Structure 1
Amino acid sequence: MTTEAAQISATLLLFAAMIVPWITRRWPLWARAAWRVAVFIALTYTVLQMAGSPLAPQFDAAQPGDRVWQQLIEIGWWLAAAQCAIGIVRLLVVFETKPRETRIVSDLMAGVIHLLTLFAVINFVFAVPVGGLLATSGVIAIVLGLALQSSLSDVFSGVAVGTERPYSPGDLVWVEGGIEGRVVQVNWRSTHIATLNGDVAIVPNSVMAKARLVNHSLPTKVRRVSITVKVAANERPDRCMAVLNAAVKTCVLLSATPPPSVARSELQGDGVAYDISFTIPSIEVFVEARTELLGHIQSHLRHAGIALAVPGVPIQGRLQVPTAVTLLEESDWFGVLADADRSLLADQLVEVWFAAGDQLMKRGDDPKVLFIVASGTVEITDGLPGSTEVIFRLGPGGSLGAIGMITGTPYAATATALTPVTAYRLDRKGVGDAIAARPDLVKSLEVLARRGQELNRRDVVARQADYAEPPEMFLSKLRSFLRKISESPRDEDQRRHRS
C-alpha cells in the first residue's frame, strides 16, 4: 500500500470512527467496544504503512501539507486508542445492579485515559519532551490544589457518596448539625435537602461524608419511635400502666403492627419514668402522631388524677378527678348551658362500667341513651358485617350518642370498649326528670340547636345522612324531643292520680 493510499484509508477510517458511534448509540456495550477495537486495528495497519510505528513516526518532511495531514492522522490514532481503551474499561467495570457506581468509576478512568493521551500526543506526534511539561504541570497542580482544596474535597466526597450511596433523592435524612428533611438533589459538589420548614439546605459533600447521618427511608419507611413520660413517685404502678396503655390505644395515627408498648424505665425519688414505644408508617407523620399521643396522655392522666413528676419533689398531692359537672362543662354538647342547668343534668347522670370488649351501643339499635366517657378508651367502628374499619377512638371527656337520642335516628356505628371504661349515662327519662324539676331547662336546651350542624359532624354514631340536615330541621327535631320528654312526667303523674 502506497503512502498516499494509506493516508486516504486512515482518513476514511477516522471519519467512520466519528460518525458510526452516533448511529450505534443503542447497540449493546460489547458491540460498541468490538467496533472500536476493529477500527483501531485497521487504523493501526494504515498508520504503520504511512509513517511507521506510532511510537516513533517518520513524517514526510518534503511536503509540509502531507506532514500536517499525517500528524492529524497520528492524533486521530491516539484518540482512537483512547476510545478503544475506554470501551474495554466500561465493558469490564460493570457492577451488577449498581449503574450509578459503574458510571462514576468508568468516567474517572476515562478522564485518566484522556489525560495520558494528551501527553502522548504532545510527546510522540509533536516531538515535544513532556518531562519539563510534567514538572510545570505538577507545580500548577499543587497551586490549583491548594486554591481549590475545599472544592476538590467536595468533588471527591461526591464521588465517595455516589459510590457508597448512603442516601438517594427522595429519602428522608437527618444530618448531624440539626438538618433534617428530604433529599431533592445529589450532584458532584453538594447535596440539596428540603427541610421540614420548607427551606432547601445545600450541604457540601465533604460535610455529608464526615457527618453522622440517619436515613429514615432505609430499609423501610416504617419507623419505631419512643417517648418518655415521668409521673409522680407516689402513684400506683399498675394504675399508671393501665392509664398510659389506654392513652396509647386512643391514638389513631399509630401503626397497629408491631403494637405499641409501655414499660417502666427509670425509678427515682421524685418520679417514675415510663417509655412509650410505637410505630408510625412514615417519619412524615411523626410530629402529628407525637402531638396526638401526648394530648391523649395528658387527658388520660388528668381524668385519672395522676400527676406528672416535678424534679426535686418526691411526694405530690393527687390531682382532682373531674366530676360529672366538670365533664358536662367541658363537653361540646352541654358546655353552652348555664351552671345551674348543667348541675341539674349532672344529677341525672348514672355512672356505669364496661369491661374491655363490651359494647356501649350497636349499629342499628334504638337510640335511648348518650354516654360521656370518664376514663378508658372507646373504639367507634362502622359495625358492618365483616368490616373492621375504625372511624374514631374516644378518650376521657368524649361523648357519643347525643344526636341519635335527640333526633331518634338509629345508631349508625358500633361503640366498643377497648379498655376498662367508666362512663356516665344519660337517658331520655333523665332529661325528662330534669325538665320536670326545672321547666325553664327546655329553653336552655334549645340553645344547643344553634350548634346542631357542627355537632352533627362530630357525633360519630349519627347517620351520615343526617350530617347534611339544615339547622331548621335539626331545631324541629330537638324541640319535638324536648316536648315529648317534658310531657312524659306529666302524663305519668296523671296516670298515677287516676289510679
Structure 2
Amino acid sequence: MCARDRRVLGPSSRIARPEVAVDAHSLLLSATLIVAGALILPLLFRGWPLWGRAAWNIVALVVLTILLPRIFGSPVLPHFHVGPANVRFWEQLVDAGWWTIAARSAVGVARLVVMLETRSRETRFMSDLIAGAVYISTALVVVNFVFGVPIGGLLATSGVLAIILGLALQSTLSDVFSGIAVGIEKPYRTGDLLWVEGGVEGHVVQVNWRSTHIATGQNNIAIVPNSVMAKARLVNYTLRTTARRETITVRLDPGASPEDCMAALVAAVAASRMPLDTPAAGVSAVGLQGDGATYEISFSVASSDKLGAARTELFALVQRHLRHAGIGLAVAGQATVPRLPVPTPAELLQQSNLFGMIPDSQRNLLAEKLVEIRLGIGNTLIRQHDKPEALFLVASGTVEITSDTPGLSHVLHRMSPGGSLGAIGLITGAPYVATATALTPVRAYRLDGPAIAEAIRTSPGLATALEELALRSQAAIAEDLASHQDGELARPELFLTRMRSFLHRLSSDTPRRSA
C-alpha cells in the first residue's frame, strides 16, 4: 500500500455505496474527457493562434483544478483510492494529464509574452528552450509525485552526463548561446557594415546560431564564431546613420617645421571636396619619434560607399601639397631624410595644365616675369565681374572658386598648388564670372598682360608657342574655364580666334611701349 493512500479500510468501507461509486466514476470519466480534449484538440486544429491554444489550456486547467479534489484530493499531493489497480492507474494518468496541461499552459503564456515583444528567430528559439525545460521538469515531477518512482539516481546520472556533454561541446555551446545573446541584443543585422576587433571589416551577409559571415573589401567571406563576436569590440557603421568617420595617418620628415607640416595638411584637407563639412575634417599631431612625426587627418563622408574615393582624393592632395611645400615623408629607421626642393616659378609653369606644353626657353622667359604675392585667409585673387588684368599660378595653399548669385554662392572648384587661374580671361578680355578666394594662407605668382607683351617683344617666338598652345590644350584649360563663361570657349576655333586677337593686341602694344 502506498504511503500516500491515507484512507484506511474499515468495516463500513469494505462495501461502498452504489451511488458514491457511480459519482466517483462519473467524475473520473469527466476528468478523463477534459484531459483528452485539452491534449488532443490542439493537435487536430493546428491552425489555432497562439493565444487560442494558451486560453484553451488555461480553461481546461481551471476546470480540472476544481474537479480533481473531489476525486483524489489535491493534484499536487494526490490521495489515490485503494481500490482496483486499474482504477488507481486511471487516476494516476488523469493526474499526470493535469501536470501536462499545467506545463502547456505555462509554456503557452511564456511564449505568448515573448512573441508579443518580437518575432525574431532567436526569440522563438529561446521560447523553445524554456518549453523544453518546463516539460522535462514536469516529467520528473509526474514520475516522482504521481507514480511514486524515486528519481534521485536518475538526476545524479543525468547530471554526470550533462557535465560530460558540456565539456565535450563547450566551444559549440558557447557559440550557440553567444548567437542567441547576439540575436536578442541585435548589435548588427544582415547588410550592416561592421568592424570587428582584430581587423575584420565588411558587410554582414549571414548570421546563424554558430557564426557570423562577413563579406570583406577583399572579396572574401570572413566566418567569425559568435563567441568571438560576443566578446570583441564592434563598430557598426550602418547603425543610426550612414555617415562614416575615418582617420588616415601620415608620417613626415622630423626635421620639417611643425607649422609648415600642419599648414600643408590643412590646405590639402581644405582642397578636398569629398569629406562632409559637418562634422568638419581636422588635422592633429599625434606622435613624435626620432624617425618621423605622425599626423592624423580625420574626416567624414556621407556613406561608406564614398570612403574609398575620399581616401584617394585626400592622399593625392596631401602628396601634392607636401611636394610643393618641400616636405618629405618619414623613412622608418632614418632620423634624417633628404629635403625636397620647393618648385621654382619655371617648374610651376611646367607643371601647370596651361603652360606645360610650350618650349622650355619660352616658359623660362615667362617665369622671369612672375611676381610673388601672398594672401591671407579670405583674400581674393580675382573677383566676379572684374576686368581681367593678370593670370595667377598657385604655389602653396588652397584657393576656392565660387560663382555668386543673389542669395547663393556655388562652389565650382578648389585649386591646389600648381594650378593656374585667369589666363582665359586675360586672353579673351571677358570679365570674370567667378571669384577666387584663399581658403588657407596662399602663396601665388602673378603674371600681368604687359609682362607677357614684354616677353613677346624679347622673344617673338613666344607668340607662336602660345598660338600652338591654343590648338593643343583645349582639355588642359578646363580648370581655368571655371572662372569664365564656357559656352563659346568650348569651341576651339573661337578660342583660337580670341587667342590670335590677344597676341595681335599685345604685338601692337609692344612698339608703343618701346617707343
Cα pair 1:400 1:460 within 8 Å, conserved: no
- Report the residue type matching 1:280 in the other structure: S
What are the Cα deviations for residues 339-359 of structure 1, in whole angstroms up to 9, with x where unaligned?
Answer: 233323334434333221112
Aligned-partner Cα distance in 2 for 1:179–1:93: 34
Q: What are the equivalent positions in structure 2 for 1:277-296 lying under 5 Å apart?
A: 277-281=297-301, 284=304, 285-296=306-317
User: What are structure 1's unaligned runs of at least 5 residues?
Assistant: none
Aligned-partner Cα distance in 2 for 1:319–1:121: 88
Whether 2:503 is the aligned partner of 1:483: answer no
Whether 2:347 is the aligned partner of 1:326: answer yes
Aligned to 2:362: 341
Cα pair 2:424 2:480 within 8 Å, conserved: no
Q: How high is the sequence identity, in percent, across the aligned residues?
A: 46
User: What are structure 2's unaligned runs of at least 5 residues?
Assistant: 1-22
Deviation at 1:374, TM superposition (A): 0.6
Aligned to 1:204: 225
Selected match of 2:62 from 24, 41, 44: 41
Selected match of 1:461 from 479, 483, 504: 483
- Report the residue type matching 2:364 in the other structure: S
Whether 2:430 is the aligned partner of 1:413: answer no
Aligned to 1:392: 413
Selected match of 1:158 from 179, 182, 196: 179
Selected match of 1:231 from 246, 253, 262: 253
Aligned-partner Cα distance in 2 for 1:148–1:182: 30
Deviation at 1:396, TM superposition (A): 0.9
Cα pair 1:104 1:163 within 8 Å, conserved: no
Aligned-partner Cα distance in 2 for 1:362–1:67: 107
Higher mean displacement: 210-219 or 372-381: 210-219
Secondary structure at the counterpart of residue 460 of structure 1: helix
Whether 2:225 is the aligned partner of 1:179: answer no
Selected match of 2:296 from 270, 273, 276: 276
Q: What are the equivalent positions in structure 2 for 1:91-490 lying under 5 Å apart?
A: 106-120=127-141, 130=151, 133-134=154-155, 137-138=158-159, 140-216=161-237, 221-223=243-245, 225=247, 227-233=249-255, 235-266=256-287, 273=293, 275-281=295-301, 284=304, 285-310=306-331, 318-367=339-388, 369-406=390-427, 411-436=432-457, 437-439=459-461, 441-442=463-464, 445-453=467-475, 455-456=477-478, 459-463=481-485, 465=487, 469=490, 474-490=491-507
Deviation at 1:227, TM superposition (A): 2.7
Secondary structure at the counterpart of residue 166 of structure 2: helix
What are the Cα deviations for residues 163-189 of structure 1, in whole angstroms up to 9, with x where unaligned?
Answer: 555544444433333212233333321
Deviation at 1:476, TM superposition (A): 0.6
Give the TM-score of the pair, scaled to structure 1.
0.77
Cα pair 2:454 2:510 within 8 Å, conserved: no
Secondary structure at the counterpart of residue 201 of structure 1: strand
CA gap of 1:144–1:481, structure 2 versus 1, over 3 A, is same
Secondary structure at the counterpart of residue 268 of structure 2: helix
Say which one has the larger Rg.
Answer: 2
Give the TM-score of the pair, scaled to structure 2.
0.75
- Report the residue type matching 2:299 in the other structure: T
Deviation at 1:378, TM superposition (A): 0.7
What are the Cα deviations for residues 55-85 of structure 1, in whole angstroms up to 9, with x where unaligned?
Answer: 66979x9999x99999987776444322311
Deviation at 1:327, TM superposition (A): 1.4
